[in-house]
Amino acid sequence: MFLSGHTHKKNHDLKNRHVGSRCFILGAGSSVKLQDITKLEGEYVISVSNTFVHPDFGLIKPRYHVLPPLLQSHGNDVKSEEDFVFWLRQMEVATESAEIFFHLGDKAMIERNGLFNNRIIHWVEYAEWDGDFDRNLNLESIPHINSVSELAITIGLYLGFDAINLPGIDHDWFNGVLVHFYDYEKEHAIKLDPKKLDFVDAEFQMRRHAEIFRKYKYLQSIRHNIFNANADPRHYLDTFPKVDFDSLFVDNSEREGASAS
Summarised one tens digit per residue, pLDDT across range 52-103 is 999 999 999 999 999 999 988 765 555 788 999 999 999 999 999 999 999 9
Q: What share of the chain is helix, strand, coil (3-state, %, to 5)?
A: 40, 15, 45
The domain that holds 171 is classified in CATH as 3.90.1480
Residue type, 49: S
The pTM assigned to this predicted structure is 0.90
The Cα–Cα gap between 149 and 82 comes to 25
- CA 26, chain centre distance (Å): 7
The Cα–Cα gap between 143 and 103 comes to 13
In contact, 63 and 100? CB cutoff 8 Å: no
Indicate the average pLDDT of the chain. 88
Return the closest-CA partner of residue 217 out of 226, 204, 206, 208: 226
- Host H or E run for residue 257: helix 252-260
| Number of domains, the chain | 1
What is residue 8's predicted lDDT score, i.e. its pLDDT? 45
Going by C-beta distance under 8 Å and a sequence separation of 6 or more, which residues neighbour residue 88? 110, 113, 115, 116
- State the residue range of the domain holding 104: 5-260
